[in-house]
A = this chain, B = another copy of it.
Amino acid sequence: MDKLLQLLKFNDKGLIPAIIQDEKSGEVLTLCYMTKEALEKTLDEGKVYVFRRSKGRLMLKGETSGCTQSVKSLTIDCEGNSLLFKVDQLKAACHEGYFTCYFRKVDKEGKVEILGKRIFDPKDVYKSQ
């Protein structure tokens, strides 16, 4: 792990951004942030773990919804500033129930067009929270 960490630059909060892309469809699913610990756990277990900034803790992506992401490959950018994981996405990546978090197409005027359909209803999935 040390040799990998030498290739990477974590920011002043100890985080590195990680782009998550669905391997099969090529769709970009989400952008998350990892600590060294999150990266190590992700590589050890083969499932994406993120540092959830709003909760201040390490979480398995899909911990509540069951929509986990199985890691297929990891590439790093030319400067070691960010990560790109290709994954196999279970059901849907977005807490709003869409396959990808990038389901809102926008233009300069702020007009929003919703792309794709809801795969699950957030009210059912997160009702106990």
In whole angstroms, how far apart are the Cα atoms of A103 and B79 in the complex? 11
A78/B101 contact (C-beta < 8 A), A17-B17, A19-B31 known: yes
**Per a CB cutoff under 8 Å, which of B44, B75, B96 touches A105?**
B75
Q: Which residues of B contact A94 (CB under 8 A)?
A: 78
A2/B110 contact (C-beta < 8 A), A28-B19, A82-B31 known: yes
**Quick one: copies of this chain in the complex?**
2
Q: Which residues of B contact A105 (CB under 8 A)?
A: 73-75
Whether A103 pairs with B75 at a CB distance below 8 angstroms is: yes
Whether A78 pairs with B106 at a CB distance below 8 angstroms is: no
A106/B75 contact (C-beta < 8 A), A19-B19, A26-B26 known: yes
**20 A-B Cβ contacts within 8 A?**
A3-B111, A5-B110, A6-B110, A7-B110, A17-B17, A17-B31, A28-B28, A31-B81, A43-B107, A73-B105, A75-B104, A75-B115, A76-B102, A77-B101, A77-B104, A78-B95, A78-B96, A78-B98, A78-B101, A78-B104
